[in-house]
């Protein structure tokens, strides 16, 4: 049976919808615009789909404080337009879905999805100052604050960041903004040797150039490193980045000022309409090994070279082989999470590659405290949470 | 009860070695307070484990005895977060001070919690550094920084402790050891742990991200007729899209006190001093400095000085950092407050603080991190004058309320501890506090880790559906379920 859809336009309505579902023992699928609808495990068939898309107000933009308060359903692109008019940005740039759906602020925070700006500004959780949530018993709670420095109370914004809607509904977030620079230059260089790319990435990551982004790309034709600088002296810094690339053995080193298409391409390659995408988290020095594993599975790769995050695109049938190859090659603690995948694949393998242990038990206790009835996105998260 | 106490002491001695367990009142006196000296409480016993496994055994011994415990690092905290509980164990982490590994290619260092903040930066110098730099960085420990989510003067550009923690090994209240990794799939329990003030467990190993050391640093000292014009300069700097490494402001009273201490040549006729430090790539610092001086001049700066050497830069900073201690020269005692306001409301809140100070007949000096609106008003008083200490504390409380009324926070970096519990309801409603409690109960349903801190009133954890777990009081035969 198809789920009933609700689209609350107020916090109180959203909380009441959740409370009613809990009282009736219904499972609620929580969604934003649906740009990452199929991420996570399939979970229990939902009875209700709660969409945050009607919670779409930019409540405050305090440009002098470089902060803003946004309701969860605000599309990232709408928020960026508003902030750009004051020369500011929210330093998040995850890609839209393959069909072009723009992600919402709430969805980005709930999934922790990132783009190239992850290099300088960190994951979405690093930019959230405060959060307002609805819990499954109908409680509306907030944590954090509206100022950029604040240590009062527990950091529930981080707890809800990346929780895939399993603890409750994110209703609004207070975020930190950054200056948006007009001037941007990208230095890039190529190599068909993965270890040259890794050495180049490590050299650039250690250089005091304050890069906005440092990405890697790999496909059957070879690999590239891309380093982006913004700000008053962006061109000079990008030239220095280019010399470092050349000095690390990369060839065809160039400098580009109209670089937006280049970066849009990096972002788009994190998603796949028909294939599978596995996000690998490891050390920056593991890049050579990740590329080797991707090659053995006929995969292509983009990633944040200095963060240690790679998005590997493979045929759906190759996901298990890729994970095996990664396990053989990477140090303990590396993670291979399945993101995009065609229908059916996530029913045959665990997208999370769950590792049992005390951390998982602790996660279950957190779920039990926040959503004891299991109303919110049951079964979509790690370990069947 | 004394038999139980003996059994517990004996288990702690087994865990740490007899010489590392303190039970005599003269030994325990050292640990009665942290950096906030007006709260004093000796613990039942203090244990100084030397390894993570010894920490685990201490925590497990407390769990089995149903006894609360408090973890303590260097004891430099300013909110009473490491204040012992009278019937509990103080677990002192100062012997865990090994640097486990340094891996600059991965920009990562792994340390034990007793390592000092400055030792982390030293271990990765000269190519890299660890940005969070609380004023106490020479002595404060990384474990304490994790508990408090410590900040410092460079937060506006570089962020806080929580932005740099990659992994933690944590001992939970029941003695379970758990590894929390930033990138592991699942809830960001690491993010929830950082800044939880020792109430969710104790970290025994810490992996931190470090970043390349800035290539150039330019430090500007500017004097203004008053804090309003200095505030205008800060606004102009931020509106120009500049992100200096630090923007610090001192008002007239703190300039006078600090100048007496260091003789750095700060202008005594100025109403405010601004220290702006640009760091980063060489070319950005050079062009930034030109813009910066122009912006300060248009905002009405009386005098601008640019540090021409490391010695001059050190003196500017030494004078800024001397402001707290130097207050002793102009007042017998002071109360340090830690509040935050949205930066654009600084002038308004400073005016309110002036009004409050006159109303209470007390002097307040202001030293603050202007870039992020983090105020540190120093409320001066004389404890020899009857009632003045109490009046100072009340004034400090009024200042905090003024910060919250302006949309700010009761604490920017010192933490809630015991000192600010009472102000929590000014920022958070009952539903918010209940949500906090859910997190705490998931980690520590028995309420044994640092009880009495953070939350305004003591709360117990209810049961949740799930496998039955024996309460430590039941295990100790002190309680039964009906």
Full 3-state SS string of chain A: CCCEEECCCCHHHHHHHHHHHHHCCCCEEEECCCCCCCCCCCCCCCCEEEECCCCCCEEEEEHHHCEEEEECCCEHHHHHHHHHCCCEECCCCCCCCCCCCCCEHHHHHHHCCCCCCHHHHCCHHHHEEEEEEECCCCCEEEEECCCCCCCCCCCHHHHHCCCCCCCCEEEEEEEECEECCCCEEEEEEEECCHHHHHHHHHHHHHCCCCCCEEEEEEECCEEEEEEEEECCCHHHHHHHHHHHHHHCCCEEEEEECCCHHHHHHHHHCCCCCCCEEEEEECCHHHHHHHHHHHHHCCCEEEEECCCCEEEEEECHHHHHHHHHHHHHHCCCCCEEEECCCCCCHHHHCCCCCCCCCHHHHHHHHHHHHHCCCCCECCCCCHHHC
Task: Please report, to the nearest 10 degrees, the dihedral formed by the alpha carbons of residues B388, B393, B394, B398 taken in order.
Answer: 130
Model confidence at B480, in pLDDT bands (50, 70, 90)?
Answer: very low
Asked if residue A347 has pLDDT above 50, the reply is: yes
Hey, of B186, B285, B288, B429, which one would you mutate to test binding to chain A, going by the most A CBs within 10 A of its CB? Answer: B186
Place of tokens 């050390």: A283
Choose among A153, A223, A213, A148: nearest CA to A186.
Answer: A213
The strands making up B89-92's β-sheet, listed across from edge to edge, are B21-22, B45-47, B89-92, B69-72
Read off the pLDDT of each residue in A358-362 and give the average, rounded to a whole number. Answer: 97
CB contact under 8 A, A359 and B148: no
Lowest mean pLDDT segment, chosen from A3-12, A126-135, A344-353: A344-353
pLDDT of residue A288: 98
Report CB contact under 8 Å: B192, A64: no
pLDDT digits (tens, 9 = 90+) for B232-287: 999 999 999 999 999 999 999 999 999 988 888 899 999 999 999 999 999 999 99
| Neighbour-count burial of B366, counting CB atoms closer than 10 A to its CB (0-12 exposed, 13-18 middle, 19+ buried) | buried
- Exposed (0-12), middle (13-18) or buried (19+): which is A181, by Cβ within 10 Å? middle
Q: Which fold has domain B331-443?
A: Alpha-Beta Plaits (3.30.70)
pLDDT digits (tens, 9 = 90+) for A171-202: 999 999 999 998 999 999 999 999 999 999 99
Residue A260: which residues within 8 A CB-CB, separation 6 or more? none
Say yes or no for a CB contact (<8 Å) between B373 and A65.
yes
Neighbours of B262 (CB within 10 A): 17
Sequence spans of domains, chain B: 2-92, 99-212, 331-443
pLDDT above 90 (res A238): yes
Q: Please tell me the distance from the alpha carbon of residue A193 to that of residue A203, in angstroms, as a whole number.
A: 16
Which chain A residues touch B338 with a CB distance below 8 Å? none
* ipTM score for this prediction: 0.97
B208 φ, ψ to 5°? -125, 150
Position B475 confidence tier, pLDDT thresholds 50, 70, 90? low
CATH 3.40.140.80 fits B99-212, yes or no: no
pLDDT band at B481 (very low <50, low <70, confident <90, very high): very low
pLDDT band at B482 (very low <50, low <70, confident <90, very high): very low
Quick: pLDDT tens for A46-93: 999 999 999 999 999 999 999 999 999 999 999 999 999 999 999 999
Mutation to test the A interface, candidates B176, B185, B198, B402, most A Cβ within 10 Å: B185
Would you state the pLDDT for residue B430?
97
Of B191, B410, B431, the CB nearest to A140: B431
pTM equals: 0.96
pLDDT at B470: 52
Residue B316 pLDDT > 60: yes
Question: For B196, which of A154, A236, A370 is closest by C-beta distance?
Answer: A154
Give the sign of the dihedral formed by CA A6, CA A10, CA A11, CA A12.
Answer: negative
Of B215, B440, B464, the CB nearest to A208: B215
Q: At what angle do helices A194-206 and A234-247 cross, to 10 degrees?
A: 140
pLDDT of the residue at B479: 47
pLDDT band with cut points at 50, 70 and 90 for residue B2:
low
Chain B hits for A153, CB-CB cut-off 8 Å, are 416, 424, 427-428, 432, 436, 454
Could B283 and A362 be called an inter-chain contact, meaning their C-beta atoms sit closer than 8 Å? no
Nearest CB to A237 within list B148, B212, B283: B283
List the alpha helices (DSSP H) in B33-171: 52-65, 117-124, 142-148, 155-158
pLDDT of res. A350 = 95
Instruction: Mark yes or no for CB contact A366/B424 under 8 Å.
Output: no
Per-residue pLDDT tens for A244-266?
999 999 999 999 999 999 999 99
Residue A360 · residue A354 · CB < 8 Å: yes
Instruction: Count Cβ neighbours within 10 Å for each residue of B325-340 and write b for 16 or more, e otherwise.
Output: ebbeebbebbbbbbbb
DSSP code per residue over B100-134: EEEEGGGTEEEE-TTSBHHHHHHHHTTTEE-----
Give the minimum alpha-carbon distance from B37 to chain A in angstroms, rounded to a whole number: 21
**Measured distance CA(B251)–CA(B189) in Å, rounded:** 40
Length of chain A equals 385
Judged by CB atoms closer than 8 Å, whether chains meet at B185 and A353 is answered as yes
pLDDT number for residue B419: 93
At B326 the pLDDT is: 84
The answer to whether B237 and B244 have CB atoms below 8 angstroms apart is yes
- The CA distances from residue B243 to A29, A121, A205, A255, B276, in Å, are 41, 13, 20, 25, 10
Measured between CA atoms, how close is B406 to chain A, in angstroms? 10
CA end-to-end span of chain B, whole Å? Answer: 24
Instruction: Tell me if B172 and A308 make a contact (CB, 8 A cut-off).
Output: no
Among B54, B67, B44, B45, which residue's Cα sits nearest to residue B14?
B54
Distance of residue B414 Cα from the nearest chain A Cα, in angstroms: 8
Q: Are B212 and A208 in contact (CB under 8 A)?
A: yes
Token pair, residue B260, equals 């007496």
Predicted local confidence at residue B471, as pLDDT? 53
* pLDDT at residue B325, rounded to an integer: 80
pLDDT, tens only, B52-99: 999 999 999 999 999 999 999 999 999 999 999 999 999 999 999 999
User: A146 and chain B: CB distance < 8 Å anywhere?
Assistant: yes
Decide if B191 and A62 are in contact by the 8 Å CB cutoff. no
pLDDT tens, B416-466? Answer: 999 999 999 999 999 999 999 999 999 999 999 999 999 998 888 987 654
> Is the Cβ of B337 closer than 8 Å to some Cβ of chain A?
no
Q: Do A372 and B428 touch (CB under 8 A)?
A: no
- Min Cα separation B346/chain A (Å): 11
A66, A174 contact by CB (below 8 A): no
CA-closest candidate to residue B385, choices B453, B332, B347, B342 = B332
Q: Confirm if B117 and B140 have CB atoms less than 8 A apart.
A: yes
Per-residue pLDDT at B478 exceeds 80: no
CA B261 to chain CA centroid, nearest Å: 25
Place of tokens 């009880």: B451
Q: Is A207–B212 a contact, with Cβ atoms under 8 angstroms apart? A: yes
Residue B361: its H or E element: none
Partner A, chain B 424-463, Cβ-Cβ below 8 Å: 424, 427-429, 431-432, 434-436, 438-443, 445, 454
B126 prior amide bond cis, ω within 30 = yes
B337 vs B290: CA distance, rounded Å: 35
pLDDT value of residue B153? 87
Which of these CATH numbers, 3.40.50.300, 3.30.1310.10, 3.30.43.10, 1.25.10.10, describes B2-92? 3.30.43.10
Residue B470's Cβ-side half-sphere holds a number of Cα atoms within 13 Å equal to 13
Mean pLDDT of A318-337: 95
Residue A120, pLDDT above cutoff 90: yes
User: 42-101 in B: which are within 8 Å (CB) of A?
Assistant: none
Domains in chain A, ordered, with CATH? Answer: 1-180+355-385 (3.30.465.10), 269-353 (3.30.70.120)
Chain B residue with minimum CA distance to A148? B372
What confidence tier does B468 reach under pLDDT thresholds 50, 70, 90? very low
């Amino acid at each position: 049976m198809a789920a009933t859809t609700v689209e609350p336009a107020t916090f109180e309505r959203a909380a009441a919808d959740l409370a009613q579902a809990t009282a009736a023992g219904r499972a609620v699928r929580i969604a934003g615009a649906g740009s990452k609808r199929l991420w996570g495990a399939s979970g229990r068939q939902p009875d209700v789909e709660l969409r945050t898309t009607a919670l779409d107000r930019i409540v405050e933009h305090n440009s002098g404080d470089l902060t803003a308060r946004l309701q969860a359903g605000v599309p990232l692109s709408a928020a960026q337009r508003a902030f750009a008019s004051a020369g500011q940005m929210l330093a998040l740039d995850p890609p839209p879905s393959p069909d072009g759906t723009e992600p919402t602020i709430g969805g980005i925070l709930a999934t922790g999805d990132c783009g190239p700006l992850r290099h300088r500004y960190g994951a979405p959780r690093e930019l959230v100052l405060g959060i307002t949530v609805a819990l499954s018993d109908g409680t509306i709670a907030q944590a954090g604050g509206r100022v950029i420095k604040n240590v009062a109370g527990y950091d529930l914004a981080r707890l809800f960041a990346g929780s895939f809607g399993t603890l409750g509904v994110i209703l609004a977030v207070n975020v930190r903004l950054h200056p948006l620079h007009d001037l941007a230059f990208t230095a890039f260089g190529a190599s068909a040797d993965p270890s040259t790319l890794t050495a180049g990435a490590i050299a650039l990551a250690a250089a005091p150039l304050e890069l906005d982004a440092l990405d890697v790309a790999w496909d059957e034709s070879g690999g590239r490193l891309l380093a982006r600088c913004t700000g008053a002296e962006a061109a000079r810094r990008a030239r220095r980045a280019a010399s470092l690339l050349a000095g690390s053995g990369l060839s065809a080193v160039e400098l580009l000022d109209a670089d937006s298409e280049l970066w849009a391409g990096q972002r788009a390659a994190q998603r796949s309409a028909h294939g599978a995408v596995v996000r690998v988290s490891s050390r920056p020095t593991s890049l050579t090994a990740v590329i080797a594993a991707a090659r053995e599975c006929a995969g292509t790769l983009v990633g944040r070279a200095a963060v240690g995050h790679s998005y590997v695109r493979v045929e759906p049938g190759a996901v298990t082989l890729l994970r095996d190859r990664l396990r053989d090659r990477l140090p303990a603690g590396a993670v291979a999470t399945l993101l995009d995948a065609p229908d059916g694949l996530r029913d045959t393998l665990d997208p999370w590659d769950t590792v049992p242990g005390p951390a998982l038990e602790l996660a279950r206790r957190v779920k039990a405290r926040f959503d004891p009835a299991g109303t919110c996105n049951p079964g979509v998260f790690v370990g069947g949470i | 009860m004394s038999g139980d106490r003996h059994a517990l002491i004996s288990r702690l001695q087994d865990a740490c070695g007899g010489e590392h367990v303190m039970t005599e009142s003269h030994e325990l006196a050292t640990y009665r307070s942290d950096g906030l000296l007006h709260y004093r409480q000796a613990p039942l016993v203090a244990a100084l484990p030397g390894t993570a496994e010894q920490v685990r055994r201490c925590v497990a011994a407390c769990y089995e005895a149903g006894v609360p415990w408090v973890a303590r690092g260097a004891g430099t905290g300013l909110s009473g977060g490491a204040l012992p509980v009278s019937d509990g164990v103080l677990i002192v982490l100062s012997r865990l001070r090994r640097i486990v590994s340094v891996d600059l290619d991965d920009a990562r260092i792994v340390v034990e919690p007793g390592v000092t903040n400055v030792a982390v930066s030293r271990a990765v110098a000269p190519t890299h550094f660890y940005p969070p730099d609380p004023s106490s960085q020479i002595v404060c420990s990384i474990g304490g920084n994790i508990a408090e989510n410590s900040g410092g003067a460079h937060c506006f550009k570089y962020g806080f402790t929580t932005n740099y923690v990659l992994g933690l090994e944590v001992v939970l209240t029941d003695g379970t050891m758990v590894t929390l990794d930033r990138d592991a799939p699942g809830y960001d329990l690491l993010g929830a742990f950082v800044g939880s003030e020792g109430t969710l467990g104790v970290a025994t190993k810490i992996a931190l991200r470090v970043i390349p050391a800035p290539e150039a640093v330019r430090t500007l000292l500017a004097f203004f007729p008053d804090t309003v014009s200095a505030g205008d300069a800060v606004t102009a700097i931020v509106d120009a899209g500049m992100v200096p490494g630090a923007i610090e402001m001192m008002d007239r009273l703190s300039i006078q006190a600090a100048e007496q201490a260091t003789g750095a040549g700060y202008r005594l006729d100025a109403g405010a001093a601004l220290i702006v430090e640009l760091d980063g790539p060489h070319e950005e610092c050079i062009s930034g400095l030109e813009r910066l001086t122009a912006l300060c001049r248009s905002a009405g700066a009386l005098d601008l000085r640019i540090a021409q050497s490391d010695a001059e830069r050190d003196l500017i900073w030494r004078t800024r950092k001397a402001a707290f201690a130097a207050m002793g020269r102009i007042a017998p005692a002071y109360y340090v407050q830690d509040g935050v306001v949205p930066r654009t409301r600084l002038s308004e809140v400073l005016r309110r603080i002036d009004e409050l100070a006159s109303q209470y007949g007390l002097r307040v000096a202001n030293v603050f991190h202007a870039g992020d609106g983090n105020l540190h008003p120093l409320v001066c008083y004389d404890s020899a004058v009857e009632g003045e200490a109490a009046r100072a504390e009340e004034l400090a409380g009024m200042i905090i309320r003024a910060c919250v009324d302006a949309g700010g926070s009761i604490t920017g970096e010192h933490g809630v501890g015991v000192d600010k519990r009472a102000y929590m309801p000014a920022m958070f409603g009952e539903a918010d506090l209940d949500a906090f409690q859910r997190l705490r109960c998931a980690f520590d349903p028995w309420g044994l880790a640092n009880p009495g801190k953070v939350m305004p009133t003591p709360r117990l954890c209810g049961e949740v559906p799930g496998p039955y777990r024996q309460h430590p009081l039941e295990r100790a035969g002190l309680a039964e379920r009906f």
